[in-house]
Amino acid sequence: MSDSFATLETLNFDNSYTRFPEHFFHRVTPEPLVDAHLISFNPEVAALLDLNPCEINPSDLANYFGGGNLLPGSEPIAMKYTGHQFGYYNPDLGDGRGLLLGEVVNQNGERWDLHLKGAGKTRYSRFGDGRAVLRSSIREYLVSEAMHGLGIPTTRALCLIGSTQQVMRNGMEPCAAVLRVTPCHIRFGHFEYFYYSKQHEDLRRLADYCIERYYPDVKDAENPYLAMYQQIAERTAQLVAQWQAYGFVHGVLNTDNMSILGETFDYGPYTFLDEYRPDFVANQNDTAGRYAFKQQPDIVQWNLTALAESFLPMVGEEDLKAVLRAYSHKFVAYRNARLAARLGLQTEQAGDAALIESLLTLFAEHKVDFNRFFRTLCDYEGAGAARDLLYPFLCDAAVLDQWLDQYDERLAAEAASFPIRRQQMRSVNPKYILRNYMAEEAIREAHDGNYVLVNQLLGVLRHPGDDHPEVQRFADTPPDWAGAICLTCSS
């Protein structure tokens, strides 16, 4: 990036989505929050927009992203989409509490959507008030940076805005807003809307737009729509593989919460597992366990099937089925590659898949805090080394010894020395993961007007593999009360 910075008033907007016919969206002016004030600001995201983080005025952020004034060049719209929610098609969806303010093109030619979540009512709000509360806004703001720190594709956020205004959720709660930044806000549900409403000309028009903007390399393919679908499926398989490798539970994997870029999108009642429990359900509203941790790979394939159906006017059914058949193999390969890296394996060997599966079985049977296990494993030197540091994770040392014997044998096939392996392992095994109780502590303090922990955690989660002595306790065993935290769709 050059030394020529933009200001909030001189951002380079080019709002391409507003050039669609207006049945793709409707124009809405954000509703101002009462006493809007800045809670937190993300300088790394500011740099993506050519903004100088050192010259941003907090009151300007509160003004523009608390709904007080429109950014010059922005054209706020609520996008229309539909989708399958808990397996059932809902035709009434759309941006119900968020607005796409516009698209900023930076000096590198990168295009970034600015999306204000918590901006008030739209025609898609149904019976809602269009607001986001402080609790859910802090959770999204922090987890988007946590996922980025782990190298998992995700939306990010420029800032978090607070307010004295209150709405009814779990009792009366303070409102807030998050300014979400990502290249793309187009969901699987956008395609479903045009398919199910039989607007197939507009469906193709949307697909052409996505190819031009997001997948230009497929333009010369024999069937560009099929090639784009293949890439969406590939990215999505890779995404859910990384979720499974780090114990991330999305909570609401409806098709309208799936990005065509393969990014983690629309955070709600998410969880990073404290214990490895395949049956864990993050969302207390999900009484059937549809979106349990172990279900995520299959649910994502189900969602990709729903997207494939929407592509039928443009792509042959058998071609789409062939892509879907390849999904499971790709998912397992991507997941195992990340877990192999977490184990410090730099080469591929015939028995690696079995070694990984046996470890996951061990985790599940003993409810291991597996992210802390992996971090501790970084300091295990291998054959002949003391195993005492790993024994606390299991009640049965003999079971762990049996697996470690196999692991020692496998490490012998690696050329890297222990110091090199430890350095590599620490780069993919975080010391800090955003556990629910950490977010809950930040939320409780923020409700009292103290935003120190929100901002402290932002920096920690951006670099989760580093030592952060000031918050060392967050690298330790979660407190007993952490297991009692209840999350719902309002989270």
Name 109's Cβ contacts closer than 8 Å, sequence gap at least 6. none
Alpha carbon dihedral 276, 278, 279, 281, in 10-degree steps, equals 70
User: Could you give the 3-state DSSP secondary structure of residue 179?
Assistant: strand
How far apart, in whole angstroms, are the C-alpha atoms of residue 271 and residue 267? 10
Catalytic residues, by residue number, are: 256
Contacts of 469 (CB under 8 A, 6+ apart): none
Closest CA to 48 of 176, 177, 155: 155
Question: In which element (H, E) is residue 411 found?
Answer: helix 397-411
Q: How many CB atoms lie within 10 A of CB 97?
A: 20
